[in-house]
Amino acid sequence: MSIKLFKAATSAALAGLLTFSALPVFAQEAKSLDELLEFVKRGQVTEAKENREREARFARDKANQAAELKRAEAERTRQEQLSAQLEEQFEENELQVAAKQQQLREKLGTLSELFGHLTSATGDLARNLENSLTSAQYPDREVFLQGLIDKMSQSDKLPSIDEIERVWYELNREMVESGRVVTFDSQVIKPNGDQVQQRVLRAGTFNIVSDEGKYLNFQPGKGTLEELARQPSGAYQGWAKALFSATSGANKFGVDPTGPTGGSYLSALINSPTLEERWHQGGPVGYAITAVGVFALLLAVWRLLVLSAVSAKVNKQLKSDKANTNNPLGRVLKIHEDNPSMDTETLELKLSEGILKETPKLESGLTVLKIIAAVAPLMGLLGTVTGMIITFQAITIFGAGDPKAMAGGISSALVTTVLGLLVAIPTVLLHTFVNGRAQRIIHVLDEQTTGIIAEHTEANLRS
């Protein structure tokens, strides 16, 4: 019984060992003890073979590593020797460079100062040509000059006689071309982006215009000509077109005095808003002020025409003995003709009543003109205040980093004040003129009425 138990335990232990080691090799289970022993024997043989192969591989790798180490040590020794040779060669080269530089300085002598002045003059000329209008006709000159500057900046290269003579030639050509009016063909970029080949005219270094009389702008960085989106107003374009077609003689032409330095005056001139643009800057308040001003002008003109006609009829009535009801004086005189025997006090009251009836007709529109003259500046002030509020709101949002934008907003806000004053001042003058016409007619009515009462009173006293 104990022998069986021992065999069973032994079988279980060997089965566990086989599961751990032999199963991965044979991928099967022993069905008997003999078969188990056979499997163990095979596993030992296989493991011994693998161990021998592994040992051989380790030996080969160790031999290879030793060989690689020897090769690395040999390479290090070679590189150290090469480094020593290079260091020695470097020191020798430094001595030779110093000797050559000393030899160059001795041979140059005073030429070094000459080349210094030449470099400075070439640099100044390159900067001038970069922004000059003549570069639109003669491009790539600054490329040569910049290359010459780079060449002279190196100590191992010297400029040739041809290069020095070309610098002198470019200086003289720029001087001569700055006083010429010439035409040539060039690519022109239109405001919409189209590129067209056009005949252009260059007036010295001041302005370039196209054959259409349009002013062009030279872009130094790109070397291109661009037609200005906004052209100078007035007769400038007509003068430019006439100069383009002229062959000799003196011709009018609008010259930008800042042309050689970039044409800042022309840019500022064309960027200045026109009167119409200024008027639109007033916004709705400006439109309202303009409408009120037009109404006041029309009302004043209409009243002047009416009062002129009435004054002519009154003057005609003064020369007539019979009352005519087509004018205020005639209607007042008609009251006396209709009541010749009326007592003086009653007649005076009747005549005063007639004058009172005629006065509103004569003074019609004067009150409106006076109100417009007073309200127009207030409307302008309203527009200015609202414009300033909008400007300060923009400053609050975007900041005050751009003084030009802030000044533009304030300028637009002040447009309504100008419009209000432009309406108020003429309206005051028109009101004074119209009121004077009306008062002269009323004065005639008062004068004639007083005379009638005096004659009537004298007649009653005689009777």
- State pLDDT tens for residues 270-317: 777 777 878 888 888 889 999 999 999 999 999 999 999 999 988 888
Q: What is the pTM for the complete model shown?
A: 0.56
Residues 154, 196, single domain; the answer is no
Q: Which of 8-12, 21-25, 350-354 has the lowest mean pLDDT?
A: 21-25
Residues 167, 29, single domain; the answer is no
Residues 58, 124, single domain; the answer is no
Domain, as residue range, for 415: 281-462
Kindly state the average pLDDT of the residues 159-188: 88
Kindly state the average pLDDT of the residues 397-425: 78
Residues 159, 295, single domain; the answer is no
Q: Contact at 8 Å (CB) between 373 and 431?
A: yes
Residue 244 confidence (pLDDT): 81
Is residue 98 domain-resident? no
Residue 79 confidence (pLDDT): 92
Residues 159, 258, single domain; the answer is no
pLDDT tens, residue by residue, 37-79: 776 767 666 777 777 788 888 877 777 888 888 888 888 998 9
Domain final residue pick, 270, 294, 310: 270
Residue 108 confidence (pLDDT): 63
Is residue 300 domain-resident? yes
Q: How confident is the model at residue 322 (pLDDT cuts 50, 70, 90)?
A: confident
Residues 256, 228, single domain; the answer is yes
Residues 219, 131, single domain; the answer is no
Is residue 85 domain-resident? no
The residues with which 407 forms a beta bridge, in sequence order, are none
Domain final residue pick, 145, 178, 211: 178
Q: How confident is the model at residue 411 (pLDDT cuts 50, 70, 90)?
A: confident
Residue 29 confidence (pLDDT): 61
Q: Which long-range contacts (CB under 8 A, 24 or more apart) does 181-187 make?
A: 181/243, 182/137, 183/244, 184/137, 186/136, 186/137, 186/225, 187/224, 187/225
Residues 298, 320, single domain; the answer is yes
Domain count, the chain: 4
Is residue 92 domain-resident? no
Q: Check residue 240 and give left, alpha or beta (phi > 0: left; psi -120 to 50: alpha).
A: alpha
Residue 402 confidence (pLDDT): 63
Q: Contact at 8 Å (CB) between 288 and 422?
A: no
Q: How confident is the model at residue 14 (pLDDT cuts 50, 70, 90)?
A: very low
Is residue 369 domain-resident? yes
Is residue 97 domain-resident? no
Residues 455, 310, single domain; the answer is yes
- Greatest mean pLDDT range, 5-14, 261-270, 277-286: 277-286
Bigger pLDDT: 236 vs 38: 236
Quote the CA–CA distance of 62 and 52 in Å, as a whole number: 15
Is residue 20 domain-resident? yes
Residue 280 confidence (pLDDT): 83
Residue 367 confidence (pLDDT): 92
Domain final residue pick, 210, 237, 270: 270
Residues 413, 399, single domain; the answer is yes
**Number of Cβ within a 10 Å radius of residue 276:** 8
Q: Output b/e per residue, 141-180; b: 16+ Cβ within 10 A.
A: bbebbeebbeebeeeeeebeeebbebbeebbeebeebbee
pLDDT tens, residue by residue, 130-139: 888 888 888 8
The chain-wide mean pLDDT, for the chain, equals: 81
Quote the CA–CA distance of 96 and 90 in Å, as a whole number: 10
Kindly state the average pLDDT of the residues 190-209: 88
Residue 18 confidence (pLDDT): 39
Q: Check residue 109 and give left, alpha or beta (phi > 0: left; psi -120 to 50: alpha).
A: left
Q: Which of 78-87, 115-124, 401-410 has the lowest mean pLDDT?
A: 401-410
Q: Which of 7-11, 277-281, 363-367 has the lowest mean pLDDT?
A: 7-11
Residue 41 confidence (pLDDT): 67
Residue 208 in tokens: 């370039």
Residues 316, 445, single domain; the answer is yes
Residues 298, 437, single domain; the answer is yes
Is residue 95 domain-resident? no
H, E, C per residue of the chain: CHHHHHHHHHHHHHHHHHHHHHHHHHCCCCCCHHHHHHHHHHHHHHHHHHHHHHHHHHHHHHHHHHHHHHHHHHHHHHHHHHHHHHHHHHHHHHHHHHHHHHHHHHHHCCHHHHHHHHHHHHHHHHHHHHHCHHHHCCCCHHHHHHHHHHHHHCCCCCCCHHHHHHHHHHHHHHHHHCCCEEEEEEEEECCCCCEEEEEEEEECCCEEEECCCCEEEEECCCCEEEECCCCCCCCHHHHHHHHHHCCCCCCCCCCCCCHHHCCHHHHHHHHCCCHHHHHHHCHHHHHHHHHHHHHHHHHHHHHHHHHHHHHHHHHHHHCCCCCCCCCHHHHHHHHHHHCCCCCHHHHHHHHHHHHHHHHHHHCCCHHHHHHHHHHHHHHHHHHHHHHHHHHHHHHHHHCCCCHHHHHHHHHHHHHHHHHHHHHHHHHHHHHHHHHHHHHHHHHHHHHHHHHHHHHHHHHHHHC
